[in-house]
């Protein structure tokens, strides 16, 4: 959000004889949020913009644009005329163009366009410090605040260190080095399970590793090498079921 809009927020609040605390009570948000708006460090979302317009008894255009400022809808129309249409004209421009039934991606001299037809969402990443999401321009800071779940980084769980500590502790104190080494199979299994949960894709599940871990455990601890080998027959069945259900999900009903 630019400083002109931030200054307008301050003037409107003071013109309506409201303190930051009084405004936050009416909006149901924190005082820090209002303070960030008025310092141009953050932007209110659509719901808060509507509430602000109602509190100040003005339209959204009056809230966001002065008479000297052009309406961003007109700017969006002009910029849309200068850039390729995401659904129709991308293939007419030089660059890399990938299209499927449910999405489309174009990489060219004027940026990256991505469209999800199913969710009706589009993103344009320009070669500047701004990003356009569904026709609205954001700085990367504003985009992280509004769409922050897409930019967060998760802390890696130290599974390798923990598994190594368990293996060495059992070996040193109980002199059981074999078959305690099986615990190292937890390293690839746990990381792939985390990826499966994160991406919600069962194809990423390390099912063969799981089968090997179960088979070796049954063999070493219970001497059930036979018929435990039958577990390996479930591996192709696992991937066949995943492919079947994925195809059913992506194939439209006729």
Query: 66 near 4, Cβ under 8 Å?
Result: yes
Instruction: Calculate the CA dihedral of residues 236, 239, 203, 212 and round it to 10 degrees.
Output: -20
Q: Is the peptide bond before 179 cis (omega within 30 degrees of 0)?
A: yes
Residue range 3-64, CATH number: 1.10.260.40
64: three-class secondary structure by DSSP: helix
pTM assigned to the model: 0.37
Query: 104 near 90, Cβ under 8 Å?
Result: yes
β-sheet with 111-116: strand ranges across: 96-99, 103-108, 111-116, 121-125, 130-133, 136-139
Give one DSSP letter per residue of 77-126, joined into a string: HHHHHHS--TTTTGGGSSSEEEE-SSEEEEEETTEEEEEETTTTEEEEE-
- Dist. CA 130–CA 142, nearest whole Å: 9
Question: Would you kindly state where each structural domain of the chain is located, as residue ranges?
Answer: 3-64, 72-139, 159-250
Q: Which residues of 37-55 are buried (b: 16+ CB within 10 A; e: fewer)?
A: bbeeebbbeeebeebbbeb
- Please compute, for residue 206, the number of CA atoms within 13 A of its CA located in the half-sphere on the CB side: 16
Query: 23 near 32, Cβ under 8 Å?
Result: no
Return the HEC string of 152-206: CCCCCCCHHHHHHHHHHHHHHHHCCCCCHHHHHHHHHHHHHHHHHHHHCCHHHCC
Helix (H) or strand (E) holding 227: helix 225-228
Query: 247 near 207, Cβ under 8 Å?
Result: no
Q: Could you read off the pLDDT tens digit of each residue along the chain, which spans 254 residues?
A: 678 888 888 888 888 888 888 888 888 888 888 888 888 888 888 778 888 888 888 877 777 765 444 444 444 444 444 444 444 444 455 556 667 777 777 666 566 777 777 766 776 665 555 566 666 676 656 666 665 544 444 445 688 888 899 999 999 999 989 888 988 988 888 888 887 887 777 778 888 989 999 999 999 999 999 999 999 999 999 888 888 887 776 665 54
């Amino acid at each position: 959000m630019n400083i002109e809009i931030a200054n307008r927020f301050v003037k409107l609040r003071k013109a309506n004889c409201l303190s930051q605390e009084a405004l936050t009570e009416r909006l149901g948000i924190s005082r820090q949020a209002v303070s960030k708006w008025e310092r141009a460090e953050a932007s209110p979302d659509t719901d808060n913009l509507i509430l602000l317009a109602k509190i100040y008894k003005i339209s959204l255009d009056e809230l966001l644009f002065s008479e000297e400022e052009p309406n961003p809808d007109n700017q969006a129309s002009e910029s849309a005329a200068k850039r390729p249409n995401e659904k129709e004209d991308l293939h007419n421009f030089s660059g890399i163009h990938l299209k499927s039934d449910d999405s489309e991606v174009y990489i060219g001299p004027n940026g990256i366009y991505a469209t999800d037809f199913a969710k009706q969402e589009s993103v344009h990443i320009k070669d500047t410090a701004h990003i356009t999401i569904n026709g609205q321009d954001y700085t990367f800071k504003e985009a992280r605040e509004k769409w922050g779940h897409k930019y967060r980084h998760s802390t890696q769980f130290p599974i390798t260190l923990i598994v190594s500590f368990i293996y060495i502790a059992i070996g040193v104190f109980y002199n059981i080095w074999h078959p305690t080494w099986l615990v190292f199979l937890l390293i690839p299994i746990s990381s792939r399970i985390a990826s499966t949960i994160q991406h919600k894709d069962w194809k990423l599940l390390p099912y063969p590793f799981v089968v090997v871990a179960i088979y070796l455990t049954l063999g070493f601890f219970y001497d059930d090498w036979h018929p435990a080998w039958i577990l390996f027959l479930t591996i192709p069945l696992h991937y066949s079921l995943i492919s079947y259900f994925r195809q059913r999900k992506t194939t439209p009903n006729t």
